Amino acid sequence: MKAFLDKNFLLQSDVAQQLYHKHAADTPIIDYHCHLPPDQIAADKKFKNLTEIWLYGDHYKWRAMRTNGIDEKYCTGDADDYDKFLKYAETVPYTLRNPLYHWTHLELRRYFGIEKILNGDTAGEIYHQCNEQLQEDKMSCRNILRNMNVKVVCTTDDPADNLAHHAKLREDGYEIKVLPTFRADKSMAVDDPETYLAYLEKLEKASNVNIASYDDLLQALRKRHDFFAEAGCRLSDHGINNFFSEEYTAEEVKKYFDQLRSGKKLDALAVEKLKSAILYELAVMDHEKGWTQQFHVGAMRNNNSRMLRQLGPDTGFDSIGDYRIGAPMSRFFDRLDATDQLAKTIIYNLNPRDNYLVGTMTGNFNDGSTPGKMQFGSGWWFLDQKEGMEMQMNALSNLGLLSRFVGMLTDSRSFLSYPRHEYFRRILCNLLGNDVVNGELPHDMELLGQTVENICYYNAKAFFAFD
């Protein structure tokens, strides 16, 4: 029987252990998609206690606590920070076989050197020890990134953001690249006129463009796109339930925008056409600059209307959607490819049902211009756990080139999430190691070791052209 979380955790063969310890464990991290707050990195923030750094904003933990019968005041409410932590600690024993059980204890070990199992009995001691360490210089935001061997962080930023925190980090000479990512979802959120018009006011101020027409909107977005590029941006990102690829004419979308600008609510087809037009134009901008466009597809968001009214979005009430994504995805990429304006692309799907669909779709639009130009992204959200990662890598291996995969990202708001890269790397090495043991791959450690290093770091470095 193996010890829990020993040095060979998840590594079921000697080959897997060699691959991980020699080729994966010490390889640097490129976190090319996350939601870390750049203001906290710029300020080199230290957190006052473990609850603040670990539980604030973490809807994974909130979902587990609610499922365990914990009152909302201990999740997002006004309960004392220690009481919130205690309620999470009491929930942890009930998370057996949930990835939270692994993540929780990996994070305690890697950041704080604490090997005790977290539960209600150990909560007080662990909270005290972690809080003491959080006041040390090693636990400031910038030093956490240094200590976790992170080389690049790509945050998620709205076109109207001024990127002042990114500028401060450059001015300070911080050696880790903290780059913005162009997330223009709000510029496409034409379903709700009142909210959309309020957003246009912010975009007008940021771009210094009076947005009276559809052409003005594109001008404003292009100016912000240029601004982001000057700040080092290399990626865009879109959180969409499906690809918007409805046929439209220029006259139609201009008319729909004028109606929206006057406060009129558009019908479903008009919304679809206007979103399709804006998404297409954003994709063209990405291609012009050599950026990589990312698409997070398939989330069914805000299912609990009562809690949406009470807490707002992104609070743990989302699920996997069952949208039909194949035909609109094909139309969208084909429209861009037909005029050679298809940028490098990463697709993250949330429904594992669609793994083989996405895996084959990426192959339709690889053109030999860039290795792995069209990427099937790593297991995302509900799928960034052991089984989900294995399913994604197996599908990618069967249908494409695992060796060209750009690997893992945190997609997290927490500075304590970097062990997710370790988790991914152990799973990757174990998959390859098992294939060697089973005679399905040659025992060529030079080839396998280089493949592991490439997937963990070097593929992403080359793909995004990071120095």
DSSP letters, 171-235, are: HTT-SSEEE-EEE-HHHH-TT-HHHHHHHHHHHHHHHT----SHHHHHHHHHHHHHHHHHTT--E
CA distance 216 to 55: 42
Strand order in the sheet with 344-349: 181-183, 235-240, 292-297, 344-349, 374-376
pLDDT band at 192 (very low <50, low <70, confident <90, very high): very high
Radius of gyration of the chain (CA): 23
For the beta carbon of residue 209, count every other beta carbon within 10 angstroms. Answer: 18
Q: In the CATH scheme, what architecture does the domain 46-139 have?
A: Orthogonal Bundle (1.10)
CA distance 365 to 345: 10
Can you give the pLDDT at residue 1? 86
Q: Which residues of 351-389 are buried (b: 16+ CB within 10 A; e: fewer)?
A: bbebbebbbebbeeebeeeeebbbbbbbbbbbbbbbebb
DSSP-derived 3-state class of residue 320:
strand
Contacts of 255 (CB under 8 A, 6+ apart): none
Please state, rounded to an integer, the average pLDDT across all residues of the chain.
97
Contact between 313 and 301 (Cβ < 8 Å): yes
For the beta carbon of residue 152, count every other beta carbon within 10 angstroms. Answer: 21
Q: Among candidates 187, 183, 186, 178, which has minimal Cα distance to 156?
A: 183
Q: Which pLDDT tens digit goes with each residue over 326-359?
A: 999 999 999 999 999 999 999 999 999 999 999 9
Can you give the pLDDT at residue 467? 83
CA distance 62 to 95: 12
Can you give the pLDDT at residue 327? 97
The residue-averaged pLDDT of 61-71 equals 98
Rounded to two decimals, the pTM is 0.97
CA distance 204 to 221: 10
Amino acid at 465: A
Q: Which pLDDT tens digit goes with each residue over 80-104?
A: 999 999 999 999 999 999 999 999 9
| Helix axis angle, 445-453 to 419-437, nearest 10° | 160
Beta-strand relationship, 292-297 and 344-349: parallel
What long-range pairs does 200-204 form, CB within 8 A, spacing at least 24?
200/261, 202/160, 203/159, 203/160
Contact between 346 and 375 (Cβ < 8 Å): yes
Strand order in the sheet with 29-31: 29-31, 150-154, 177-179
The residue-averaged pLDDT of 433-440 equals 98
Q: Which pLDDT tens digit goes with each residue over 234-245?
A: 999 999 999 999
DSSP-derived 3-state class of residue 408:
coil
For the beta carbon of residue 44, count every other beta carbon within 10 angstroms. Answer: 15
pLDDT at 375 over 90: yes
Q: Which pLDDT tens digit goes with each residue over 215-241?
A: 999 999 999 999 999 999 999 999 999
Contact between 452 and 446 (Cβ < 8 Å): no
Q: Among candidates 426, 423, 412, which has minimal Cα distance to 103?
A: 423
Percent of the chain past pLDDT 90, that is, above it, reads 99
The residue-averaged pLDDT of 378-407 equals 97
CA distance 221 to 281: 9
Question: In degrees, to the nearest 5, what angle opens at C-alpha 187 toward C-alphas 227 and 313?
Answer: 115
